Structure 1
Amino acid sequence: MFVCLTGCLPWQKAALEDPRYSRYLYWHGSSGMMQTVRRPKLFKLLSSKAQRWFRKYLEPRADKRPANLAELPKYMEDRWLAKGANDREEEREDETLCPSMYSFHSSLEDKNNLLSTLVAYGIETTVDRRSKKDRIRAWIQNSSIVEEEEEEEAAGAVGGVGVGPGGRAVRRRHHGRIASDTSETASSTTTGR
């Protein structure tokens, strides 16, 4: 739900090495009574009620975390995003990609485990640039052929010059103008406007 609302994971790894997780722990552990503690940036996008709900369900200690989603219906009718959350999106640390998607916090062991799992399920983990370019080129060529056929069908429906049944000239329009043809039959048809 957090990813659906904010577009990012709250942190990469639930470990103290992850700065986002450390900030969350600091914020989660504070009551805010004695000193104000900065909310993690992504939590600023959420309404205060949604923040309370996520603080309960993202409790660091498993024994304190709710066992099911029984409380969720109480929050369903409430606003989940803070007013002006769209304006705050520009304040994100990196606008190109969600920082929690970067792999610089991951250990080499985690990466190797992920790669071996992907390979075990037959998912390609290396990319051959040439074959990728060839697939893209083929896809573009196939797409352009379909577009040309669709344009020809649409032009034929609007009415321009073409060969109809029995070899007779048929009028069709192309981009609002009558198309000219070099054949005798077609030119005689277009001159009789």
Structure 2
Amino acid sequence: MGRPYHTTFVWGGEAGAMVQVSRQHWAVQVATLYAQKGFRVDDEHEYDPNVGGVYMRTRETYRLNYVTLPLQLAYTLHADGQGFQGFLGGYVGFLLNGQLTYDDIYRRPSYEPVYYKGKADIKPGQELEMKGDVISKGTDAGVQAGIGYRYQQLLTQISYSHGLVNLGTKYPNQPSNLYTPEYSNRVIQVSFTYLFAPLSGRPK
């Protein structure tokens, strides 16, 4: 297992449609969303610096575009569905595409540093390829929870999604001493929803 890298979040957008079926305090919420996810790597490391080892600087931004299908159970303080609510559920996501932007440096003792800078497409798949594209697993899944507030037909929610799938891929017949990235999605979401025609809990 390789060492962990220092990562930070990236901003993204989300859009789609949600259906809510409610009964008194409880509601089931199902959505279909186009979601932008990703992360940024900003890391420096020198292997065995006491003897002038290999130096690596990694600055990479991964942007991943998904269709996600969240399903969650919400509980509202008021029986008419208005006011504060808490919710818990899970999601399944399917990778459409993405892009990697990189600006890396690799330096060995007694050699000039090598600079790598550019962009590469990210595609769904199960195994890495020897050509330029980056391959990320096509199916993601995880759990999510959050709180929200509904006023008449307007619903605002903030949630945290925790991916349970390692989205990193490996080369075919990869040797045990070759490490490839392991990563999963961690997302904080803020959403605004207009409920056109709730099946129940319509405000009077």
The TM-score, its normalising length taken from structure 1, stands at 0.18
Q: Which structure has the larger Rg?
A: 1
Q: TM-score when scaled to structure 2?
A: 0.17
More strand by share: 2
**Between Structure 1 and Structure 2, which shows a larger proportion of helix residues?**
1
> Higher RCO, 1 or 2 (CA under 8 Å, sep at least 6)?
2
